[in-house]
Amino acid sequence: MHELSMTTQIVETVLAEAKKHGAKKVIEVKLVIGKMTFLGTDQIGFSYKILTEDTILKGSKLTIEEKEGTIECPNCGYKGTVPIKDDPAYHIPVPTLQCPECRRAAKIVEGKECTIKSIKMAK
Amino acid sequence: MADANDVIKGEEVTLEIEPGMNILEVNKKLAQKNKERLNKHNVKAIDIMGSIGAGKTSLIEKLVQKLKNKYKIVVFKGDLTTTIDAERIGKHGVQVITINTGRECHLDANVVAKAVERIKIEDIDLLIIENVGNLICPAEFPLGTDKRVVVISVTEGPYMILKHPFTFMNADVMVINKKDLAQTMKIDTNQLENQAKEVKPDVKVAVTNALTGEGVDELIKALEL
């Protein structure tokens, strides 16, 4: 829902980097978006197209790499991907922070990224 | 290797840089700063999130009534526009600062830092922040509070938790409000509570009726206030 404002910040950051390096054109931007964020990659792509229209980013390629969620249990030390509870009573598979080993509460350690991984630009 | 500036005229040189900047991390760092600042002045802070109409403002009114003799309270009230809710809460004799976000669907640590500038932080010991009415986005933006609360109400249906697990993963306390309507809505609040605990095993739950104040003491206990 806040993809537009997040993408605005991404575009501003890329523009600042491009200026710093004296680039005339940005060719490609690579992002990493965690699956534990509320960011939709399609909406980011759509916002990016609109926001870059009148900038040196116009026509640049946007590559989005999605990152799986990982949890770590402070209790037993388990580390792994976010478990999915597939209880037929729920009709839908539901991600959970319950540690699959000891059933206590684990913490999210990966999957909350919204990172500009690299920028390719031309001078 | 040739320097990027050392090129024959007319030739295009591409540079690949790796800034590795996490845009969400910017908010997280600001939130940490808010937290340090509030802790330094021994101010406890609570972020109250939830859908439009879940009963966040009514709950805050009851919290303020019950806690205003124990704590010096300030309320930050996030809304797209208007000061309607701020007036409701302000009637109970506490300072309320409205944060109108305009179009933004959530509060972030930056606007909270600005609002903190406008209060006498030395003179208060409890800050209650009512987030913008939205069950999804606010969860992505920590504000620097000690506790994060998600309010849902039985009139929102039986699937609020299953449909929004990521929101509840970010909550320390969950409130199930409008308990008086549970029977009419054919909602089993125990089932909601179990679902929340499956998603987040250490979440604390209070079942309330914010209009009468029923269950608000349990909420205060869950918030360790």
- Does the residue B142 lie in any domain? yes
Please state, in angstroms and as integers, the Cα–Cα distance from residue A2 to each residue in B22, B126, B199, following that order.
Answer: 16, 29, 24
For residues B10 and B81, the model is more confident at: B81
Residue B4 has pLDDT above 60, yes or no: no
d(CA A106, CA A74): 6
pLDDT reported for residue B83: 81
Per-residue pLDDT tens for B112-137?
999 999 999 999 999 999 999 999 88
Is A94's Cβ below 8 Å from some Cβ in B? yes
- Does the residue B7 lie in any domain? no
- Does the residue B88 lie in any domain? yes
Counting as low any pLDDT under 70, the low residues of chain A are none
Contact yes or no for B17 and A118 at CB 8 A: yes
**Best B5, B11, B18, B21 residue to mutate vs chain A (most A CBs within 10 Å):** B21
B178: left (phi over 0), alpha (psi -120 to 50) or beta: left
d(CA B75, CA B69): 15
Contact yes or no for B18 and A98 at CB 8 A: no
Mean pLDDT of B192-200: 94
Residues of chain B contacting residue A118, judged by C-beta atoms under 8 Å apart: 16-19
Residues of chain B contacting residue A39, judged by C-beta atoms under 8 Å apart: 140
Shortest alpha-carbon distance between residue A80 and chain B (Å):
16
Contact yes or no for A118 and B16 at CB 8 A: yes
Reported as half-sphere exposure (CB side, CA atoms, 13 A), residue B33 has a value of 15
pLDDT reported for residue B12: 55
Range of the domain at B187: 23-222
CB-nearest partner of B162 from A90, A97, A118: A90
Beta bridge partners of B129: B47, B76
**CATH code, B38:** 3.40.50.300
Residue B3 has pLDDT above 70, yes or no: no
- Does the residue B11 lie in any domain? no
Mean pLDDT of B28-56: 96
CB-nearest partner of A115 from B15, B22, B165: B22
Shortest alpha-carbon distance between residue A119 and chain B (Å):
5
- Does the residue B161 lie in any domain? yes
B60 Cβ neighbours under 8 A, 6+ residues apart: B48, B75, B89, B128, B130
Give this prediction's pTM: 0.87
- Does the residue B2 lie in any domain? no
- Does the residue B8 lie in any domain? no
Contact yes or no for B162 and A114 at CB 8 A: no
Residues in chain B: 225
- Whole-number average pLDDT of chain A: 92
Domains of chain A plus CATH, in order, are: 3-68+111-122 (3.30.2320.50), 70-108 (no CATH)
pLDDT reported for residue B13: 63
B2 Cβ neighbours under 8 A, 6+ residues apart: none
Count of structural domains within chain B? 1
Please state, in angstroms and as integers, the Cα–Cα distance from residue B110 to each residue in A41, A45, B156, following that order.
Answer: 25, 26, 31
CA A108 to chain centre: 14
Residue B40 has pLDDT above 90, yes or no: yes
- Does the residue B1 lie in any domain? no
Contact yes or no for B200 and A114 at CB 8 A: no
Is A96's Cβ below 8 Å from some Cβ in B? yes
Per-residue pLDDT tens for B66-118?
999 999 999 999 887 788 888 889 899 999 999 888 878 899 999 999 999 99
Residue B2 has pLDDT above 70, yes or no: no
Is A88's Cβ below 8 Å from some Cβ in B? no
- Whole-number average pLDDT of chain B: 90
d(CA A114, CA B44): 29
Residue B9 has pLDDT above 60, yes or no: no
A5 Cβ neighbours under 8 A, 6+ residues apart: B104
Contact yes or no for A119 and B17 at CB 8 A: yes
Shortest alpha-carbon distance between residue B106 and chain A (Å):
8
